[in-house]
Chain A
Amino acid sequence: MPSSSITISHYCRIKNNTISKDSQLLLRSEAALFQQFSDEAYRFCQINYPKFHKMDNLSKLAFLSAEFLLREYSLTKNYNPYRIGVILSNKSASLDTDYKYFNMVKKGVASPAVFVYSLPSIMLGEICIRNGIKGENTFFISDTYAVQDQVDYINNLFTSNVFDVCIGGWVELIEERYESFLFLVEKSTNNTNLAFTTKNIKNKYQDSING
């Protein structure tokens, strides 16, 4: 019986009005603002998910990244929902929405719909709800994308038998500056798949930044 190893199945990046998956460009937009770009990306997905329009920009970015990452692939058909993990990180947490909420409160209006997005981990919840994921999910904040730490953490959870598949990556957004890089890692007996190592994730992340 061939031994299984942890491999990178797919990766997706969203940056500078473009969306690509596994180094293939899927969408390039001329939108001037993230709001317009995200609406265009949503329409491109051809899904009917009204809740998308209620999300803050950070959650929209994470949601869209996961939509493209998992396109034509149902995680819960292949895995137990309780054994699917999501481990993400970023630099600015939910500061973009925190500012908006702060400014609303200063004007004497406190919108509950804005308040619920004043935590960065909400974007994990949106991905989990959409994809039926019920396993381990954790969010980290660091000044720059700490790839080594994230790879070690995810590898440790695989080794500890916490999950069989995991979505990992970096989802950063503040005002009009945004960037996401998501990857899907799973146990695989297919030797042609790319091994889940810090070096390979760094390479894919750098390629996506430079691409």
Chain B
Amino acid sequence: MDDLKEVLKKQIVEQLNLKDTKPEDIGDDQQLFVEGLGLDSIDVLELIVLLQQEYGIKLANAEEGPKIFQSINTIAAFIEANRK
């Protein structure tokens, strides 16, 4: 799980072009949206694409998005539970 979180942080920094953020700067429990990393609605879509491309997970219910993308911990838990 810890390895997954580290990989996820690197993928998020790269996919979302967070040039001023290093993967190690992102806390496992840190809020990713609004006040935390300051991600926006387009970033959510990019994260959905990332899950699909890298982990083969298709988000069936968009309403689940805010819960899943809360933090690195919640994304990692979702991947662990749904990875093919």
B49 contact from A48, A50, A53, A112, Cβ within 8 A: A112
A109 beta carbon closer than 8 Å to chain B: yes
Cα separation A111 to B45 with both chains bound (whole Å): 8
B3-52 residues with Cβ-Cβ distance < 8 A to A are 16-21, 38, 42-43, 45-46, 49
- A110 with B38: CB separation less than 8 A: no
Cα separation A112 to B45 with both chains bound (whole Å): 6
B53 beta carbon closer than 8 Å to chain A: yes
Known: A50-B38, A116-B42. A110 touches B19 (CB 8 A): no
A111 contact from B20, B38, B46, Cβ within 8 A: B46
- B20 with A53: CB separation less than 8 A: yes
- A113 with B46: CB separation less than 8 A: yes
Q: Assign chain B's interface to a size class.
A: 10 to 19
- A53 with B19: CB separation less than 8 A: yes
Minimum CB–CB distance from B26 to chain A (whole Å) comes to: 13
A100 beta carbon closer than 8 Å to chain B: no
- B49 with A110: CB separation less than 8 A: yes
A113 contact from B19, B20, B42, Cβ within 8 A: B42
Minimum CB–CB distance from B30 to chain A (whole Å) comes to: 15
Minimum CB–CB distance from A32 to chain B (whole Å) comes to: 19
Cα separation A53 to B21 with both chains bound (whole Å): 11
Q: Which residues of A contact B (CB under 8 A)?
A: 48, 50, 53-54, 109-113, 116
Q: Which residues of B contact A (CB under 8 A)?
A: 16-21, 38, 42-43, 45-46, 49, 53
Known contacts A53-B17, A111-B49; can you find 13 more A-B pairs with CB under 8 A?
A: A50-B18, A50-B20, A50-B21, A53-B19, A54-B16, A54-B17, A109-B49, A111-B46, A112-B46, A113-B17, A113-B43, A113-B46, A116-B42
Which 5 A-B pairs have CB atoms at the shortest separation, nearest pair first? A112-B45, A53-B19, A53-B17, A54-B17, A113-B46
